[in-house]
Amino acid sequence: MPTVNIVLVEPQIPQNSGNIARTCAVTGARLHMVGPMGFAIDDKKLKRAGLDYWHQLDITYYKDLADFFSKNKGPFFYFTSKGPRRHVDVQYPDGAYLVFGREDAGLPEELLVRHEADCVRMPMRRGERCLNLSNAVAVGVYEVLRQWDFAGLETHGQLTRYEWSEDVQ
């Protein structure tokens, strides 16, 4: 199964990180959390948002961006409202890292300007605030998985008390 990596740079809101952890658990995405973070990992709100899934995570913690980049080689795709191209116009290879910034500030512009070709944005109305971080991560992850035809994921479900008819494709 191909691997997608989700990178949270200095996350500040535990509920967002918990929701993202849950998204990673159900999609098989690896989670990378880059400090400093605005909460402790044992925060009750963080655990509540992703509690049933926490044991299923492939998660790595880093002291800061320098620590993260010293241990990971990319390819990196920087999700930012300032990005020059749409996130759906990029081909994401196996092992891609989707990098997201902190909820209140995004990614540092010093980082973005050095990697202009790798900066992407999700289309939205002019002048509006960005999507919630956990929603943006879910949109990004599922675009990558769509491009990979959802490799390794179950693509159909089963009813609990009934059976689906056989002629539905």
DSSP one-letter code for 147:
H
The CATH number linked to 85 is 3.40.1280.10
Q: For the stretch 116-147, what's the b/e string if a residue is b when 16 or more beta carbons lie within 10 angstroms of its beta carbon?
A: eebbbbbeeeeeeebbebbebbbebbebbbeb
The 10s digit of each residue's pLDDT in 76-126 is 999 999 999 999 999 999 999 999 999 999 999 999 999 999 999 999 998
What residue type is assigned to position 19 of the chain? N
Is the residue at 63 inside a domain? yes
61 SS3 class: strand
Q: Is 122 annotated as a binding residue?
A: yes
The model carries a pTM of 0.92
Domain count, the chain: 1
Is the residue at 169 inside a domain? no
Q: Which element (helix H / strand E) includes 36?
A: none
